[in-house]
Structure 1
Amino acid sequence: MTRTWFITGANRGLGRAFTEAALAHGDHVVGTARDPQTLRDLTQDRLTVLPLDVRDRENVHATVRQAFTVTGALDVIVNNAGYGLVGAAEEFTETQIRDQMDTNFYGAVWVTQAALPRLREQGHGHIVQISTVGAVGSMPLFSMYNAGKWALEGYSGALADELRPFGIAVTIAQLGGFATDWAGSSMKFANANPAYDELRSAVLGTANYPDPQAVPVAADEQPDPEWVDADPAVAAAAVLRLVDMTDPPLRTIIGPGAHQMVAMALDQRRRDYETDPEFTWPA
């Protein structure tokens, strides 16, 4: 069956991989990006490119309406737009915090709200929330990124129960590490407070945050990593299998090493709860 997708942040990284995989599968795609010119090389008659800044609720509603007008129906909504933010909680400015939440959390909320009336009218649809294994646990220097994804998970869990009677599925895709620009030019950093130099050295391997204006180090000059992030095509293939399911799960783990990361985070939570003598972890 040919489907129609609506994908945010479709111009690069995972969003680009989702877009290319859906098109290769024979589906139609409405791909959105802040700068639609970044998708001009994908000359596909089954691709509609629309400009969209997910932080702007009115713009989101207008763009989703336009997508339904152009396509007639949307079958899969992929809330993918987002970026990484690194820093100690004390270091973030109000602007950095609000922009992170506006993009990574509220953007998904606005797209979902805008699509829901038509999805209910259709009587079907699948909303895929691109999350992370960091929404199961947490990591120093990633507090705001974790916060946005944790918020998305809590929102999506309740949303799934609300929409199930209407034939609309919701899946939270908890992704591990993929070789995208998420940790490159898409990454933003706080201003370093010397009090956290030791923590930065332990987590990042340097007492300073990287200079976003610095010339990237050539691949053959970089030290051998302990692991290699997976090709985004791996995630795209997993999402294609996901939307093919007749009864998709609320949560799915995607990516090499991601299952182990989730297991470690849940084990830490179990050990935290076991310090309470009145709490018994379910068998």
Structure 2
Amino acid sequence: MTTAGAVHDGERRGGAPGSRTWFITGASRGLGYEFTRAALGRGDRVAATARDTARLDDLLGRHPGTLLPLALDVTDADAVGSSVRQAEAWSGGLDVVVNNAGYGHFGAVEELSDEELRDQLETNLFGPFRVTRAVLPGMRARGSGHIVQVSSIGGVGAFANLGAYHASKWALEGISESLAIETAPFGIRVTILEPGGYATDWSGSSARHSAGLEAYEGARVSAAARRGGQAPGDPAAAAQALMAVVDSPEPPLRVLFGAQAPAIVRGIYERRLAEWEEWQGLTERAHGSAHEGGRA
């Protein structure tokens, strides 16, 4: 077994462009499709998963030797393990894993059913968790690898009518940050992508919706107007940005994608910091007398 300390920087990053093997979930549309196309376009190999692999036929026709389409529903734990084993046998080892499969569930918190919330977590949280757990033994054995978790600016802040989606992405952010700390000694990097709005089908036919209550119609209208007022990003540009992240000798733990994302996230954190500061006196009093005596 290779130890992390004995691995050169280039090996930890999974080799140079044109020599890596990727495992990408949700590869049949949107960002996942463009990530797959960009990796193949520079000569890398890609094990691309989708519930409907027919959507990958055009790429397979152009890259028959370097694309392995795999039918996969990430909510099926056994199927996840089988797909990872097939990809590892095909390639000899996975260098970059992109957990992209997911969908957005629209509905106010009161409108959500237990089943709808569970389904959202099964795909957006447990799906990446299962894939990550399946690929880690091979990455640890090689002392290298890069796991990319596709989160969202919705994993940093929250908006009305998307409570289930935010719950899934906030949880993904937390488990991924712990993962990054745990796997760094093995030469495994973790990056959390936080895209803003992109020209994909995320809020279209791939989205799911709760049965609406009239009381929340105003919130739905406002949320739709907010999304409609943003110029969506180009998924192909996001794919090229991901290539730069993977090529970096020191990839970030978190990175925002999209020109509007920094301003949105900055506003979220400024409001949080201001509120915490406003209530700091109460925060300190909540500690009790030990703080006043200097023993905190």
Equivalent positions of 1:76-155 (< 5 A) are: 76-155=96-175
- Comparing 36-45 with 251-260, greater Cα deviation is found at 36-45
Distance 2:225 2:169 in 1: 25
Give the C-alpha shift of residue 246 in structure 1: 1.1
Give the C-alpha shift of residue 205 in structure 1: 4.8
Distance 1:265 1:17 in 2: 29
Distance 2:259 2:205 in 1: 23
- Residue 194 of structure 1 aligns to which amino acid in structure 2? E
Percentage of pairs with the same residue: 47
Among 10, 21, 46, the alignment partner of 1:29 is 46
Q: Deviations over 1:150-192 (max 9, x none)?
A: 0000000000000000000000011111100111111111101
Q: Does 1:251 align with 2:271?
A: no
Distance 1:90 1:277 in 2: 31
- Residue 277 of structure 2 aligns to which amino acid in structure 1? E
Consecutive aligned runs of 4 or more in structure 1 exceeding 6 Å deviation: none
- Residue 188 of structure 1 aligns to which amino acid in structure 2? R
- Residue 23 of structure 2 aligns to which amino acid in structure 1? F
Name the SS of the counterpart of 2:202 in structure 1: helix
Decide which structure has greater helix share: 2
Q: Deviations over 1:37-84 (max 9, x none)?
A: 121121212101011110111110111011101110110000000001
Among 46, 57, 71, the alignment partner of 1:40 is 57
* Cα 1:148–1:6 shift into 2, 3 Å: same
Distance 1:205 1:47 in 2: 39
Q: 1:14: which partner in 2?
A: 31
Among 63, 67, 87, the alignment partner of 1:67 is 87
Q: Does structure 2 conserve the Cα–Cα contact (< 8 Å) formed by 1:177 and 1:256?
A: no
- Comparing 228-237 with 161-170, greater Cα deviation is found at 228-237
- Residue 259 of structure 1 aligns to which amino acid in structure 2? P
Q: Which runs of 5+ in 2 are unaligned?
A: 1-15, 285-296
Among 204, 207, 210, the alignment partner of 1:190 is 210
Q: CA RMSD in A?
A: 1.4
Structure 2-normalised TM-score? 0.86
Q: Does 1:203 align with 2:206?
A: no
Q: 2:245: which partner in 1?
A: 242
- Residue 262 of structure 1 aligns to which amino acid in structure 2? V
- Residue 243 of structure 2 aligns to which amino acid in structure 1? L
Give the C-alpha shift of residue 203 in structure 1: 2.2
- The structure having more radius of gyration, on CA atoms, is 2
* Cα 1:205–1:169 shift into 2, 3 Å: closer
Distance 1:254 1:27 in 2: 23
Name the SS of the counterpart of 1:186 in structure 2: coil
Q: Does structure 2 conserve the Cα–Cα contact (< 8 Å) formed by 1:234 and 1:255?
A: no
Equivalent positions of 1:147-226 (< 5 A) are: 147-205=167-225, 226=229
Q: Does structure 1 conserve the Cα–Cα contact (< 8 Å) formed by 2:189 and 2:251?
A: yes
Q: Deviations over 1:108-145 (max 9, x none)?
A: 00000000000000110000000101111110111110
Give the C-alpha shift of residue 275 in structure 1: 2.3
Q: Does structure 1 conserve the Cα–Cα contact (< 8 Å) formed by 2:197 and 2:230?
A: no
Structure 1-normalised TM-score? 0.90
- Residue 22 of structure 1 aligns to which amino acid in structure 2? A
